[in-house]
Homo-oligomer: A and B are copies of this chain.
């Protein structure tokens, strides 16, 4: 029998791997690590079903890529076996550089960290190990492959990454609002002059996709309690690093230590350590730190472990300093902390969501007359103004115990 491996997937039924090289990549420690990184970071604290991992998402996106290629080939687009394999690898590894809790700790504990550039570095490392077999995959990932639609499928306005994560996240959270017709969208894909298009009859599915994505942002990814949990995690890391910088001993796996007590390392060693940390390292530390003598650290950690999250309030503008000072003073008084310590309990942020970001390229509709029109021209129901306008909100977090009346 030829090589074939099957993964059960509640979302698509089955994911089949028929290519030994791809199976070797899945078996690689870099990829296995993704099985210990939650797809949705802290969202599991709000949606108890949302414990799925980057590992599963990457497999799912690869499955959709395979379906896409099958569809395009059936419609006459010539795709070689090498291109097919490379596109599958590009999407399989597109998130390989994610750190613990996916986006939560990006730009925080791992300064200068950017999951896309780390993904690229790790893909290049793998390319060496596999004697250059991943070069085309890397070119597709970086947008350097000459047939541009492959890159669009990996990272575009309507890529299989989004098609998988919307399906998967709505499935695992149980939020029906995010369910999209990924299968139908894929059936409607068509490539003209190396540009990815959607057949005209798929317009409504695209409308639904854009709307569902926006709603998933507000209902799941930017749910205010999810943000409150993420802020708590960020404050913990900030405090831990502050203590570490002061030479204080902190429980951590050796790889994770390197990110708490940053040492002058060359890039390779830094990367190597990065490939070893995942949600487990962070959570075990948070658990242990909940007994740490530092009252700020232990108190923040206890909150996270026992899910006593901050209250989160949406605001239309940034909270004035006077209000922040007021809250900080209240915290200091309530918990017997210094003002400086109390600042770890009051935090605000600006949240921006842009439903349609034209810098990612357009979504093209291929009409029955053989023309290519962008989705806003083709649709009766969508307005570019409406969807290209970023929604900006502010969010303010502080302990529920303060008993401040709601503000807006």
Contacts and interface: CB of A to CB of B under 8 A. Distances in A.
Given A47-B8, A75-B2, A288-B254, A177 B190 contact: no
A49 B44 contact: no
Interface string A234-260: 000000000000000001011100000
Contact of A10 (B59, B172, B278): B172
Interface in A243-288: 251, 253-255, 276, 278, 280-281, 283-285, 287-288
A324 interface: no
A84 interface: no
Contact of A9 (B27, B174, B408): B174
B176 A184 contact: yes
A371 to B, nearest CB: 10
A53 interface: yes
A9 B48 contact: yes
Given A32-B305, A53-B48, A380-B391, A253 B251 contact: yes
A190 B1 contact: yes
Please tell me how many copies of the chain the complex holds.
Answer: 4
A280 to B, nearest CB: 4
A350 interface: no
Interface residues of A, number: 84
B174 A13 contact: yes
Nearest to A407: B369
A53 B307 CA distance: 15
Given A9-B48, A287-B253, A386-B383, A408 B369 contact: yes
B307 A10 contact: no
A125 to B, nearest CB: 16
Contacts of A285: 284
A171 interface: yes
Contacts of A336: none
Contacts of A207: 211, 215
Interface in A14-36: 14, 16, 18, 27, 29, 32, 35-36
A214 interface: yes
A194 interface: no
Given A179-B179, A408-B369, A13 B380 contact: no
Interface in A326-371: 368-369
Contacts of A74: 2, 4, 16, 18
Contact of A276 (B76, B172, B190, B287): B287
Nearest to A58: B48
Nearest to A382: B386
A8 B49 contact: yes
B51 A53 contact: yes
Contacts of A52: 49, 51
A225 to B, nearest CB: 10
A255 B381 CA distance: 44
- Nearest 4 CB-CB pairs, A to B? A284-B284, A10-B174, A51-B51, A176-B181
26 contacts: A8-B47, A8-B173, A8-B174, A10-B49, A10-B172, A10-B173, A10-B174, A13-B174, A16-B74, A18-B74, A27-B307, A27-B308, A35-B48, A35-B307, A36-B283, A49-B52, A51-B52, A51-B53, A177-B205, A204-B215, A218-B380, A251-B253, A253-B284, A254-B291, A280-B287, A284-B284
